[in-house]
Amino acid sequence: MSKLKRLFVLIATGALLLAGAGTAAASGQKGGEITETEISFVNEGGTVYGTFVMPADVRGKAPAVLLLHGFTGNRDEGPVLQPDFSFDDFMYERTANVLAEAGIASLRIDFRGSGASLDQFGFEGTTFSGQISDAGAAVEWLDDQKRVGDIGILGLSQGGLVGSITAESHKNVSSLALWSPVANPVDTYKTVLGADNVADGLSQPSTDIVLPWGALITLNQPFFDELYTTDPIVAISHYDGPLQVVVGSLDTIVTPQPQYGETYMTYHDGEEELVVLDADHVFDVFTGNGAPALDDAIAETVDWFEDTLRS
């Protein structure tokens, strides 16, 4: 497939991560209600919990997007902080609502070991391969829904790595969007975890780590082993569907940018778009400015899915 490259550099003005049960509804643009339903499915012996959002006034089928969270995150991702550091919503919650207003359904999940999906193991058992398996099972869950048409994936950070590999291995994924995606796991996790901790993690059963933002986590040895055996760029080179990558030029986690975003463009063959924002790794949701950069990212990605997914 020939390359169709469009590079958009957006300069945003102004300046890392909850689950319940039941069904809720919110107002939609078309006069009906956006329906939000808590769902679960079993994968590899563990329960994966998620939130399925259906747009208002859907006749027939709606396209759907699977939202994949980042490292230490959960299905809703981080709170979007206002100037007084209060918050009204979360990063992926907002994204799901805007998708629904555009007529696009969504499923956001807690990977096993994160959020509410803790019945099998805790975060220390997190691996790339486990999350890739969960994402694949979620794609199949969506594919089984009678009201769902084309399926897309949106992955943030580590969720971008997971999304890249999932899209390549599941031909029922019609479009892919990646936000601040991990391209070189060894490089990124030496930055996030520290090179000494990565070395320790390769040689001992579990490693305790204090993250740059102060959180204390434990990771088991398989996580560190998979840093050296998991390559999202190889996967993207075998995925020829539509690809959008959105990065922040101020990202200090997956850095440098836009160079890592451009790496995805270089190795992908197909319709593609790179969007560069004047923002950090999570598009300023923690800066206390209401995150207009997040709104820019959402707008670009909703437009992308409107163009590349069908009902």
pLDDT, residue 7, reads 35
Question: Are the C-beta atoms of residues 248 and 15 closer than 8 Å to each other?
Answer: no
pLDDT, residue 27, reads 35
How many residues belong to the chain? 311
Residue of higher predicted confidence among 168 and 18: 168
Q: What is the DSSP code string of 97-162? A: HHHHHTT-EEEEEE-TTSTT--SS--GGG--HHHHHHHHHHHHHHHHT-TTEEEEEEEEETHHHHH
Checking if the pLDDT of 24 tops 90, the result is no
Checking if the pLDDT of 51 tops 50, the result is yes
Q: What is the pLDDT of residues 240-287, one digit of tens each?
A: 999 999 999 999 999 999 999 999 999 999 999 999 999 999 999 999
User: DSSP 3-state assignment of 3?
Assistant: coil
Q: What is the pLDDT of residues 173-187, one digit of tens each?
A: 999 999 999 999 999
Mean confidence (pLDDT) of the chain: 91
Please state which of the ranges 1-15, 85-99, 153-167, 245-259 shows the lowest mean pLDDT: 1-15
Question: Are the C-beta atoms of residues 112 and 130 closer than 8 Å to each other?
Answer: yes
Question: Are the C-beta atoms of residues 94 and 299 closer than 8 Å to each other?
Answer: no
32: confidence class by pLDDT, cuts 50, 70, 90: confident
Residue entry with tokens 């593609």 = 272
Residue entry with tokens 């090179």 = 195
pLDDT, residue 161, reads 98
20: confidence class by pLDDT, cuts 50, 70, 90: very low
Domain ranges of the chain: 4-184+229-308
Checking if the pLDDT of 31 tops 90, the result is no
pLDDT, residue 184, reads 98
pLDDT, residue 48, reads 98
Angle between helices 128-143 and 158-169 (to 10 degrees): 60
User: DSSP 3-state assignment of 25?
Assistant: strand
Q: Under CATH, which architecture does the 4-184+229-308 domain have? A: 3-Layer(aba) Sandwich (3.40)
pLDDT, residue 1, reads 38
311: confidence class by pLDDT, cuts 50, 70, 90: confident
pLDDT, residue 21, reads 32
pLDDT, residue 167, reads 98
As a whole number, mean pLDDT of residues 73-82 equals 98
Checking if the pLDDT of 13 tops 80, the result is no
Q: 191: burial class by Cβ within 10 Å (0-12, 13-18, 19+)?
A: middle
pLDDT, residue 17, reads 32
